[in-house]
Amino acid sequence: MQNTSRVTILGVFLWLCALPVPLPADPAQRDIGYGRMAMTETLAKVCIGIRNSEECAAAIERYQAPRYKGRFKRIGRTLIITLENGKSVSLTSSPRETASTYKSYNYIEFIPSIGQHLVQVQYYEGGSFYLVDAKTGSKTEIRGVPILAPRGNLFACFQANLELGSSIEIWRLTGSAFHREWLLEPVEWLPDKITWLNDETVRIDKTDAQRGRAGFEVFTRSGERWKLSR
């Protein structure tokens, strides 16, 4: 009887070990045409087969609509975000005929750890993102989807674009406002993935024009500056 129990326990242990292990919550990187959009694996799957950043963002908004009911809605070309105080922020996309002055908005997700709504902003050429504060409605324009540092009061983001130029930003939350602590541009290589090694060190993987891996760079905060540390 004792031997049987041991076999049973061993079998359960081996079965548990065979279960899939959850992947780390590190945002996946996906090339969607104009530069790259870093997002969670679930949202990246929404854009499979889409090769245009605006179409991808629109698909994500449609996917998120029933999940964030009460946080945002769309009326025609206007995206309406409801704030915690009951007020709202309205962002109205330009008519498509406006060409060089074109600007459109699509809701991506709510980031509870920093209390911000993430909105994709599409221009005639290129794009950016807004962080819309859930309490105040204030907008912070950033160059990519935020990758949060371990403590959450810092985030990094990037644009990777051969035609318009690549850039990397690091933002810090001070009080109730974000300020850009570091900007690197132009970048002679294409950023591909950002990984926080700790709150003072960030690793940035590189790729070449053919999407081949091209190594990585590590930057460390020294005083008020971020410096190449390898």
CA distance linking residue 125 with residue 103, whole number of Å: 10
Q: Which residue has the higher pLDDT, 181 or 188?
A: 181
pLDDT band at residue 209, thresholds of 50, 70 and 90? low
pLDDT in tens, 33-47: 333 454 566 787 888
pLDDT of residue 196 exceeding 80: yes
Flag the least confident range among 16-25, 48-57, 198-207, 214-223: 16-25
Which tokens belong to 141?
């324009």
pLDDT in tens, 133-149: 999 999 999 998 899 99
CA 85 vs. chain centroid, Å, equals: 26
SS3 of residue 227 by DSSP = strand
Task: Give the H or E element holding residue 197.
Answer: strand 190-198
Quick check: 60 and 106 in contact, CB under 8 A? yes
pLDDT, mean over the chain: 80
pTM given for the model:
0.80
